Each structure stands twice: as structure tokens, then as C-alpha cells.
Amino acid sequence: MDLGLKGRVAVVTAASQGLGRAVATAFAAEGARLAISSRSEAAVGELARKLEREYGAEVLAMACDLRDAAAIERFFRAAGERYGRIDALFTNAGGPQPGGFDELSDADWQAAFELNLLSVVRSLRAARPWLEKSDAPAVVNDVSTSVKQPIEGLTLSNVLRAGVVTLTKSLSLEWAPRIRVNAIAPGRIATERVAQLDRDRAVRLGSTPEAVAAEHIRNIPLGRYGQPEELARVAVFLASPAASYVNGQFVFVDGGLVHAL
């Protein structure tokens, strides 16, 4: 299937590793021009060179701390001025601190709010004028299966990802019919973030990361963790003109982990 992304402009935040890296790579493979960001200038620059070398992609790479409103504004302004428009936006950020409710301070809540909810608000606000210049603009917000089924020990993520879902649904109404807005909910995807969560849980339980992973896998009907590339293909489809009648949806890429209707 031709997704219609060749020559289009895709923006991916927190792109240097994990799901963001996989999504940026999938956009490049489809022939999109890219603007990518990361807190690490070296890391995002390395990815840009890789995508240029392997796919011949045109890439704007910038350091951008998603907790910094001015940095977000600079990044999106640079992307818009470089390309003249934004066709597809994948909002993404690192996960917040793990922990249960009684372990979290006001400072922890504030930091997670800045990183995982307010960064999305600010990115969407900064991107909108450039999305309006596209003939088929689309946004995909990265959330989590916790928006349907809370994850033990990830209270901050459970609460704040739900806020991004509500924002997604609200904007799918407010910005229609001009801009499509959807969300994607990863399950247990084999990223360093998930590996670290498994290691942390193993320490708490006096177990091993392998045993923790096996425990999770018993609840996944497909019997394994997903690969970042598997999620990326769905995200890129949702952001593409091929998904032109998909709006306000939350697509779970979780191997069947969430059993709820």
C-alpha cells in the first residue's frame, strides 16, 4: 500500500531512541522529509545522519527539552520555516518516574505533568499554524495501554496519559474537519524504557528481569513483547493520507494485552 507520504513533512519529538526512533525511521522509509528532536543533540544528530545515509531522507535535527516551552517553540518554528508546512506530527516523550501514589511528591507530579501532558499541549499549539498549511494534516499522540487498564507502579503515567487521551478526543472534534487527531497506545514494546521497568520491578520483588518479563508475557495473547517497528508501522499509517477517514481514535498495539472492550 502506498501511504502517500513521499515528500511530505513529518515531525517526531523525542526521536533519538525507543518508539520515537522507530517512528522516525518508518517515516524516512516511506520517503517523508523529517524534523526530529531529542534532549541530546549528539543522539538526534546521529539518527539524522543514519536516516540520510540509509534512506536519502532530508532531516532537520534539533535538541529540544520537552519540559522547556521556549525550546518547543523554537523547534516547531524551525521545522515550519525549513519546510513551509507540517503534514504529520508524532508527539512522544520519555516516560515519567515509576512509583505508587504514596511514593510520589508534589515535585514528581509537577515534573511528570510538564513532560507528559504539557509538552503535548505546547507541541500541538506550536505545530498548528504549520499543520494548517498542509492539505492533509494529521497528529498521532503516543499514550499507553494504561489509559484503558492502569499499570501497577506507574501512577504518574496512568494519570497523565489519560489526560493526553482526553486532549486527543477533544481536538479531534475542535480541529475537524481540517486536522485529524488520533492516539496510539503501546503495550509491552521491547524498548529500553520497558526493559528498565522490568529491572525495577525485579528489584522490588526480589526476582529477575527475565522472570518479570515472563510474567507479563503470560498475559499477552500473542505470547511476546512487541518490537518498536511494529508500533511504528501503525503510527505512520495513522499519520498518513491512507488513513484519511480515521479521526479521534485510540489504537492499541499491545498483542491483545488489554482485554477490555
Name the residue type at position 199: R
Q: Is 247 found in the same domain as 134?
A: yes
pLDDT at 177: 97
Q: Is 155 found in the same domain as 199?
A: no
Q: Is 76 found in the same domain as 46?
A: yes
CA distance 52 to 48: 6
Structural domains in the chain (count): 2
Domain that holds residue 218: 190-225
pLDDT digits (tens, 9 = 90+) for 91-141: 999 889 899 999 999 999 999 999 999 999 999 999 999 999 999 999 999
Residue 62 β-bridge partners: 37
The tally of CA atoms less than 13 A away on the side-chain side of residue 261 is: 0
CA distance 184 to 231: 8
pTM: 0.96
Q: Is 91 found in the same domain as 202?
A: no
Provide the pairing of β-strand 9-12 with 59-63: unpaired
pLDDT at 1 over 90: no
Nearest CA to 13 out of 96, 73, 97 is that of 73
* Residue 261 falls inside a structural domain: no
CA distance 252 to 185: 5
Return the C-alpha torsion angle 115, 225, 187, 182, nearest 10. 90
Q: Is 144 found in the same domain as 210?
A: no
pLDDT digits (tens, 9 = 90+) for 31-79: 999 999 999 999 999 999 999 999 999 999 999 999 999 999 999 999 9
Q: Is 134 found in the same domain as 53?
A: yes
CATH of the domain at 94: 3.40.50.720
Hey, is 144 helix, strand or coil?
Answer: coil
